[in-house]
Each structure stands twice: as structure tokens, then as C-alpha cells.
């Protein structure tokens, strides 16, 4: 298998300081007047066979990040290395070759399949483009792929409209698998599905990962699905990764106040248990005009929040082994008290973990 752990232990995917700014054009001449900072300096790794979840609310830049990694949209700056190759430096022909190894499954199983192509033709397209199989060998491969994702091979001659949402998502997965990738960006793959069908697709993704050693970048806003499927989780807010940790640590002891609020908002499926909520004030600010310093500071509930939070951009730093968070008020922090005071700080950093953020009873 091509995806067994790399000998030197280096990541399969290394994303460094990735940025995507969309220019805001005004007037009839399209004068550029500012930018929407959709992704603003994102750094993370994905190991072979690992699932890294990218979570956050709409507009936080998680989908843009996924697309920029695959160069479905061109990043503004930063670097992406896949299996040692510099993805952003590739020309069109090499990029196409690389796409064999990096695939994507989209959120909407209705608009992501061509309605005029049969299911078989959709799955077969990748085989043809990458010269992986022709003629009856390709037919056999298509049938095999459909069965692997839990569809009957006779369906190859049918068209997308004949299928339910969950079945279409299976077709999308078969299409991604056809070129034998080692990495798949799953962009909200189960958000449009009913809970019972969602469970089928989540189980399928996990089975395929076990069998093939696939790595996933799993983009989602549903924190219960993420806890179920992810090895590590990166939380995004306004274009920044604000926390990154193994799944047990993130859900067991969320450090970044935004993550705490996000977790407290998940409904608890136990009647009678009225969860405490951290209700965030106001709305997410516009990414065209993000707050200074820590982008979360205007809505933050940390008791030590002060003037320094509006001045100092908090570095994403390792607060505990493997647990990264961007908050200068959660110790330990490399931003010294002198520096904080110089920026107007009045409150010493002090660890804060409200009960409302925890789902497991202590």
C-alpha cells in the first residue's frame, strides 16, 4: 500500500501559513478596496492514515482551506507540501498527476454529480483520465468500486436523479476512490444527510480508511460527528486555527474560550439535563474587517480578558504536549507578562475552564 507510514515519520500533508484573501472590488473599474481574509495564516499537518477534522462555523474559512490545499482555488500565499512535493509550485500537468493521490468529496450530493452522466460513467471518468484502466477492465473496476461503497453494481447504468442523498454521497466516495488516493478532503460529507443515513456514510468512511490507510481532512461543523470520526481536531475562527489537539484532549479540556463556547452549544441528547450554555454575544465579525489582536476578543468570556487581547495577536502555542491553542490568557504562554502589560494588560493569565464546556460528567 502506498500510504503506509512514511519511514522518516514526516507528515503526508504539511500546510504552512496558508492564506487566501479575496479582493473586494468596488466601482465600475473594479478598484480593489480591501480584502476578505477568508484564510489567514493556517498551519497544520496530516499524518498518513490519520483523520484531521477542521471545525468551525459558517464563514470561518474551513472549506476555503480544503479547496486551497487541492488548488481548486489558488492560495494567496503560504505553502502546501504533499508527500514531500511542493503542491503550489506544480504546473498543470504535474498537478493533474498529483490529484490522483489527493481527492475530494463534496457536501452537496445533488450538485456535485453531473446529472447527464450515468453513475458508471461518473466513477469511470477518473480511471480514463489517469489511464488506470480501459475497456472491460475499467467496467470491472467500476462495478467493484460501487460494491465497495455499498451500492449494487447494476446501478452503473443509472443516473444520479434515481438515487437518494445518501446513495449519491456513496457515488461521490466511489468516484474519489477510483484513482486510489492516499488523502481525501471530505468537505461536510454528511451535513446534508438524515441521521440514520449519516451514520451509514460515517461508518463507510471509517471502514475505507481502515482498509486502505487513507488520510482524511474532515471538514465539518457538527461537533458530535467530528468527535466520532477524528483523531485530531483543528478549530477555526475567522480564518485562523485557534486550537489544535487530539480529539480526547480537545473535548476533555478545551483551552481556547471559543472552543469552550462551541462545545457548550452542542445540544445534549439527554432529557432533563439542561446544559449550561456559554452564550456568545453578537455575531461573528466580518472577515473583511477582522478585530485587531485576538480575532475572538470582542466575544470572549475569559475572565482575564483585557486590553492586551485587542493588541497582541496570540500565537498558536503548545499548552500541553500535543495540545495547541491561541490564547495569551490561558497559561502557559510565551507572551511574557511584561509584553502583555506594555499592551495594556491588567489581568494575569489564569487557567479558565467553565463546566458548561464539558460534556463528560466528572
Partner 1 sequence: MTTPLLELENLHTFFYTDAGVARAVDGVSFAVGVGETVGVVGESGCGKSVTALSILRLVRPPGRIEPGSVMRFEGKDLMALDEREMQHVRGNRIAMVFQEPMTALNPVFTIGDQIGEVARVHAGMNKRDALAKAVEMLKLVGIPAPEQRAGEYPHQLSGGMRQRVVIAMALVMNPALVIADEPTTALDVTIQAQILELLADLTRRLGTSVLLITHDLGVVAENCTRVIVMYAGEVVEEASTSDLFARAHHPYTEGLLGAMPRVGGEKDRLATIPGTVPPPTNWPKGCRFRDRCPYAWERCETEHPPLYQIGGGHTSRCHLAEEPERRQHPHPPLAAQRGATAA
Total residues at interface with partner 1 (CB under 8 A): 54
Kindly identify the residues of this chain, within the stretch 322-341, that bind partner 1 according to CB under 8 A: none
Selected from 15, 261, 326, 328, the binder of partner 1 by CB under 8 A is: 261
- Contact region for partner 1 (CB under 8 A) — 72-80, 266-274, 324-332, 337-345? 266-274
Task: Tell me if 190 sits within 8 A of 205, measured CB to CB.
Answer: no
Q: Where are the alpha helices (DSSP H) in 253-302?
A: 257-264
User: What is the edge-to-edge ordering of all strands in the sheet holding 215-220?
Assistant: 102-105, 183-187, 215-220, 51-55, 232-237, 240-246, 323-325, 317-320
272 interacts with partner 1 by CB under 8 A: yes
CB of 90 to partner 1, least distance (A): 35
Helix (H, G, I), strand (E, B) or coil at 99: helix
Find, among 262, 237, 260, 304, the residue nearest to 59 by Cα: 237
6 interacts with partner 1 by CB under 8 A: no
Selected from 133, 284, 307, 310, the binder of partner 1 by CB under 8 A is: 284
For residue 35, give every residue at least 6 positions away whose Cβ sits within 8 Å of its Cβ, in sequence order, or none: 21, 22, 23, 24, 288
Q: Which is nearer to partner 1, 83 or 227 (CB)?
A: 227
CB of 186 to partner 1, least distance (A): 15
Which burial class, exposed, middle or buried, applies to 32 when counting CB atoms under 10 A from its CB (0-12, 13-18, 19+)? exposed
Kindly identify the residues of this chain, within the stretch 32-91, that bind partner 1 according to CB under 8 A: 57-58
- Contact region for partner 1 (CB under 8 A) — 78-86, 121-129, 267-275, 329-337? 267-275
Which burial class, exposed, middle or buried, applies to 36 when counting CB atoms under 10 A from its CB (0-12, 13-18, 19+)? buried
Cα–Cα separations (whole angstroms), residue 11 to 7, 17, 109: 10, 16, 30
CB of 291 to partner 1, least distance (A): 16
- Contact region for partner 1 (CB under 8 A) — 94-102, 280-288, 320-328, 344-352? 280-288
Q: Which is nearer to partner 1, 125 or 222 (CB)?
A: 222
95 interacts with partner 1 by CB under 8 A: no
What does the DSSP 8-state code read for residue 199?
H
Kindly identify the residues of this chain, within the stretch 164-223, that bind partner 1 according to CB under 8 A: 164, 166-167, 170, 194-200, 202-203, 206, 221-223
Task: Tell me if 234 sits within 8 A of 217, measured CB to CB.
Answer: no
228 interacts with partner 1 by CB under 8 A: yes
Selected from 71, 100, 130, 359, the binder of partner 1 by CB under 8 A is: 359
Kindly identify the residues of this chain, within the stretch 153-172, that bind partner 1 according to CB under 8 A: 155, 158, 162-164, 166-167, 170
User: Please, what is the angle between helix 195-212 and helix 165-177, to 10°?
Assistant: 10
| Binding stretches for partner 1 (CB under 8 A) | 57-58, 150-152, 155, 158, 162-164, 166-167, 170, 194-200, 202-203, 206, 221-225, 227-228, 251, 261-275, 277, 279-280, 282-284, 359-360
Amino acid at each position: 500500500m502506498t500510504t503506509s507510514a512514511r519511514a522518516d515519520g514526516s507528515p503526508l500533508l504539511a500546510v504552512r501559513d496558508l492564506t487566501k484573501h479575496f479582493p473586494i472590488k468596488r466601482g465600475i473599474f473594479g478598484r480593489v478596496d480591501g480584502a476578505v481574509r477568508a484564510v489567514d495564516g493556517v498551519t497544520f499537518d496530516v499524518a498518513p492514515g490519520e483523520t484531521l477534522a477542521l471545525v468551525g462555523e459558517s464563514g470561518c474559512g474551513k472549506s476555503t482551506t480544503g479547496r486551497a490545499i487541492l488548488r481548486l482555488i489558488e492560495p494567496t500565499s503560504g505553502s502546501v507540501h504533499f508527500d514531500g512535493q511542493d503542491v503550489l509550485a506544480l504546473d498543470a500537468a504535474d498537478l493533474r498527476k498529483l490529484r490522483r493521490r489527493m481527492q475530494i468529496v463534496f457536501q452537496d450530493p445533488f450538485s456535485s454529480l453531473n446529472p447527464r452522466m450515468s453513475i458508471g460513467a461518473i466513477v469511470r471518468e477518473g480511471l480514463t483520465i489517469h489511464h488506470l484502466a480501459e475497456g472491460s477492465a475499467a467496467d470491472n473496476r467500476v462495478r467493484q468500486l460501487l460494491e465497495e461503497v455499498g451500492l449494487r453494481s447494476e446501478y452503473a447504468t443509472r443516473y444520479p436523479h434515481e438515487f437518494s442523498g445518501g446513495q449519491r454521497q456513496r457515488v461521490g466516495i466511489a468516484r474519489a476512490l477510483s484513482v486510489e488516493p492516499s488523502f481525501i478532503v471530505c468537505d461536510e460529507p454528511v451535513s446534508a444527510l438524515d441521521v440514520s443515513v449519516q451514520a451509514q456514510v460515517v461508518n463507510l468512511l471509517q471502514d475505507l480508511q481502515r482498509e486502505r490507510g487513507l488520510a482524511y481532512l474532515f471538514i465539518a461543523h457538527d461537533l458530535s460527528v467530528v468527535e466520532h470520526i477524528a483523531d485530531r481536531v483543528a478549530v477555526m475562527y475567522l480564518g485562523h486555527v485557534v486550537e489544535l489537539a487530539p480529539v480526547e484532549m480537545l473535548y476533555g479540556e478545551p483551552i481556547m474560550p471559543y472552543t469552550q463556547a462551541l462545545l457548550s452549544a452542542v445540544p445534549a441528547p439527554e432529557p432533563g439535563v439542561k446544559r449550561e450554555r456559554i452564550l456568545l454575544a453578537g455575531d461573528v465579525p466580518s472577515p473583511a474587517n477582522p478585530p485587531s489582536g485576538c480575532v475572538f476578543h470582542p466575544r470572549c468570556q475569559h475572565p482575564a480578558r483585557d486590553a492586551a487581547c485587542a493588541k497582541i495577536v496570540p500565537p498558536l502555542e503548545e499548552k500541553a504536549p500535543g495540545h495547541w491553542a491561541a490564547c495569551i490568557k490561558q497559561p502557559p504562554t510565551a507572551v511574557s507578562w511584561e509584553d502583555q502589560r506594555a499592551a495594556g494588560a491588567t489581568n494575569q493569565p489564569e487557567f479558565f475552564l467553565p463546566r458548561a464546556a464539558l460534556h463528560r460528567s466528572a
